[in-house]
Amino acid sequence: MGDNLKLVVGITGSSGVIYGIRFLQALSNLGIETHLVLSKWAKKNIQIETDEVIDEILKIVSYSYDETDMSAAISSGSYKTNGMVIIPCSMKTMSSIANGYDDNLISRAASVTIKENRKLVIVPRETPLSTIHLSNMLRLSENGVIILPAMPGFYHKPKTIDDLISHIIGKTLDQFGINNNVFNRWDPNENGS
């Protein structure tokens, strides 16, 4: 089902690392090639926020890279991918990308994705948002980046936290045209109008 898709996935130190883990699980289940970069703070948040084991997460990805490895294949535009997702994306990482700082492999791979006109989806997880955050989002949006905040809908009548997470995962998969049934879609016949 992967249709030869090749996606770069960055998970940063923002709260909500479960979104990134669940996104990787969905891609793995769909047979999609993944190139993962976990930031140092993502690893810390995985320990703080979840019961997941990093070594187990690494088993479901195709390739993984250290965030300091600026010689990795994904740091070059000549290495072809179908795009990149940063889920969740910290405001620090977003600022680095918006300002072309490229201070680690996540922001470098994102910059490559932008310059090569490939799809970049950023899932910020922060609240409230300052004017600086919004300005960085606007700058990225003006450069074709999809800003997909971790703001789940409620029209599907979620019963669990997992239902809320699934909504964001499904919406993120949709951005790459990846068919999925990870969440219940709006149906006016079922939900009323």
The model's pLDDT over 49-82, given as tens digits with 9 standing for 90+, comes to 999 999 999 999 999 999 999 999 999 999 999 9
Question: What residues form the annotated binding site for dimethylallyl phosphate?
Answer: 155, 171
pTM comes to 0.95
Q: What is the C-alpha separation between 81 and 46, in angstroms, rounded?
A: 26
Binding-site residue ranges for FMN: 13-15, 39, 90-93, 125
pLDDT 10s digits, 35-53: 999 999 999 999 999 999 9
* Binding site per annotation, positions: 13-15, 39, 90-93, 125, 155, 171
Task: Domain 6-176: state its class.
Answer: alpha beta
**In 3-state terms, what secondary structure has residue 23?**
helix
**For residue 88, which of 130, 2, 5, 147 has the smallest C-alpha distance?**
147
